Amino acid sequence: MEFVVFSIICFFLLSAQIYIGTNQFKDGVAKVIGEKAFKASYRLFYILLSLIAYIVCIKLFLQLPRVEIYNLEDSVSNLVFLIIDTIRFIALFLIIEALWELDLYEFLGIKQIWYFLTKKDLTIFKRNRIRDKEFIPKGLYLRHRHPVYFYMFIFFILDRSMTVSNILFIVIFTIYYNFSARQQEARFMEDYGDSYKKYQQKVNKFLPMFKRFSAHEQPKK
């Protein structure tokens, strides 16, 4: 029963988190509170609500009964654990790097609030993020379109033991991962148009590529 309750609550919370990030919802909020207040405050509001949803899901997850399927500590050497833990550490570092490359202060909504408090020009924000005319990726985004989700998945799946709750979490995260990525790309298509479409055609969605993205190459057919 605990697993069912956990799944239902996560479904509603994560679905709501995805919806409040859509351009349709943003436009509705902007009409209610005004364009200036929206551009200044929405991103921070979105991040706080997202954190609440994640914290509730994680808290419920930690309360689930631990039904173990297998434990690698029973059959794997310390060397293998060292390799696994190293990969997880690298994945965690790459998650942080990918977020930083998004302009962390803007991603968290701090830059927008700062612009409002210091009376800087908020018109440079398209909806609630700064958008150039062309989509110009950098860093990890030159090799895959959603590095944050990919390395989070790597971090979670390389655990020393596997339980029923872990499998359920991975299933929920994978579904969320796919729908959230689709919603983000819909926003990017609306914001950037053809330049993002060209990037989308050339770069893998989740799996990293050896070859880096170049805007001067011909798109995939």
For 51-101, how does the pLDDT look when each residue is reduced to its tens digit (9 = 90+)? 999 999 989 988 888 887 777 666 667 777 788 889 989 999 999 898 888
Run of H or E residues at 71: strand 68-71
> Tokens representing 156?
């979670």
Segment 130-141, tens digit of pLDDT: 777 788 888 899
Q: Which residues does residue 126 pair with via DSSP β-bridges, in sequence order?
A: 129
Q: Is 129 helix (H, G, I), strand (E, B) or coil?
A: strand
State pTM to two decimals.
0.79
